[in-house]
Amino acid sequence: MISISNLNKKFGRLQVLKDMNLRFERGVSYAMMGPNGSGKTTLIKSVLGLVIPDTGEIFVNDQNTRGNWHYRSDIGYMPQIGRYPDNMLIGQLFDMIRNLRKDKTSYDLELFERFGLNEMLDKPMRTLSGGTRQKVSAALAFMFDPGIYILDEPTAGLDPLAVEALKKKIAEERNRGKLIIITSHILSDLDELTSHAVYLVDGEVFYDNTIEELKAETGEIKFSSAIARLMEWSLNGVKKN
């Protein structure tokens, strides 16, 4: 469970998050959407403690995240652009992370093996293609069986086979009652995987409700059309929420 209250963040003069309030419940999968620069990644990074908010509070599993780091053991995070130490080998990277994570002793290696990463353990990270890096990120996020998944554009750059494997895995985890947050611009993926829509515009929550409700409100049957309607509303300045 993640609860965010009155969160503000400025980068220089630009206010990226404006007094944001959100709640993410366990057992629900969220589609986090919004135009480029609407604050999705900043919000995610704030939850992870990579970005330090100016004011406001974030609670993960009822632990305040400010100055705390233990709560991160229950989060599997897949960054938008996975950046890894250039001169490390894939095998070394996984060994290192496993070695540093003494909080978990059993590992979920399904994606690791499905993506064939176990066959390229001695490939240096700098030689990896964008898609393979993305596979590494996914395998790392799912390895420690966390209760919360935060996936920032998980399928971007993956080949169709890998996308299917990843989506299957996400669906399985969702069915096991995990909390899943996905940001993506690929609406068909979100439609398959999520049940709740969060739409951000200019650092504010523009819409936060179930996808069923969204469809009813917009009068659309298809998810993509409903989202398109939502975008229209936000552009025309219709106040929702």
Which residues here bind another protein, judged by CB under 8 A? 11, 45, 48-52, 69-73, 77, 79, 83-88, 96-97, 99-101, 103
CB of 140 to another protein, least distance (A): 9
Two tokens, residue 89: 């080998």
Render the chain in DSSP notation, one character per residue. -EEEEEEEEEETTEEEEEEEEEEE-TT-EEEEE-STTSSHHHHHHHHHTSS--SEEEEEETTEE-TT--GGGGGEEEE-SS----TT-BHHHHHHHHHHH-TT--S---HHHHHTTGGG-TT-BGGG--HHHHHHHHHHHHHHT--SEEEEESTTTT--HHHHHHHHHHHHHHHHTT-EEEEE-S-HHHHHHH-SEEEEEETTEEEEEEEHHHHHHHHT-SSHHHHHHHHHHHHHHT----
CB of 122 to another protein, least distance (A): 14
> Is the Cβ of residue 75 or residue 158 nearer to another protein in the bound state?
75
CB of 147 to another protein, least distance (A): 13
CB of 217 to another protein, least distance (A): 36
> Is the Cβ of residue 182 or residue 211 nearer to another protein in the bound state?
182
CB of 77 to another protein, least distance (A): 5
> Is the Cβ of residue 79 or residue 154 nearer to another protein in the bound state?
79
CB of 51 to another protein, least distance (A): 4
Distance CA 71, CA 43 (A): 16
> Is the Cβ of residue 137 or residue 234 nearer to another protein in the bound state?
137
> Is the Cβ of residue 97 or residue 238 nearer to another protein in the bound state?
97
> Is the Cβ of residue 13 or residue 239 nearer to another protein in the bound state?
13
